Amino acid sequence: MSLLHGLHRLVRCLLTVLLLSVPAHVMSGETQISEYRVKTAFLYNFSRFVTWPEATLQDRTEFTLCVIGTDPFGTELDNLAGKAVKKQTLVIRRLSSLTMLDDCELVYIGENTELIEVLLLLSEQPVLTVSDAAGFIEEGGIIQFILVHNKVRFRINAGAANNAGLNISSKLLSLAISVTGGN
């Protein structure tokens, strides 16, 4: 690896860690970043710092982020459409039925959804599950958003990620306010 390539990689890594670690205040008002804009950025970065089994993304041109249940993001998620994730193009899908979960790599589970039913359907599938729901990781979800002092933070259930065949990078694990279920 050339010195220039190594330096570029280091700068990119530092910028990513900075983006994930800078607290984002969740306040009303046009000048503050909205809670769901911050969560949208986190979702995109989760997709970049989680490794799926090779067979999952092999021969695919799309990486699908699905929302089931109430969609709190509004148009924020749509801004991610078309970005690159793992050499695939990010596609956003809003689902109205659990039968549509088959082609999702990342699923945000909103309100008005049978949380346990969704988690049972996706258990041991290579799908990253994310939600704001209380008790989400205790029920078998992988990443749970929480607000701490008006800042968006997250908890990780490493055991659920392992069961799904997903590998969460140590960088992402280090930014979580808690990690449970690890080996």
Task: Please give the average pLDDT of every successive group of 10 residues along the chain, which has 183 residues.
Answer: 45 42 43 78 96 89 95 92 94 92 94 90 94 95 95 97 96 96 71
What is the rounded CA–CA span in Å between residue 42 and residue 73? 12
**Integer Cα distance of 85 and 65 in angstroms:** 10
Q: What is the pLDDT of residue 183?
A: 57
Predicted TM-score (pTM) of this structure: 0.82
| Domain 3-180, CATH among 1.10.10, 3.40.630, 3.30.1490, 3.40.50 | 3.40.50
Tell me if 175 sits within 8 A of 143, measured CB to CB.
Answer: no
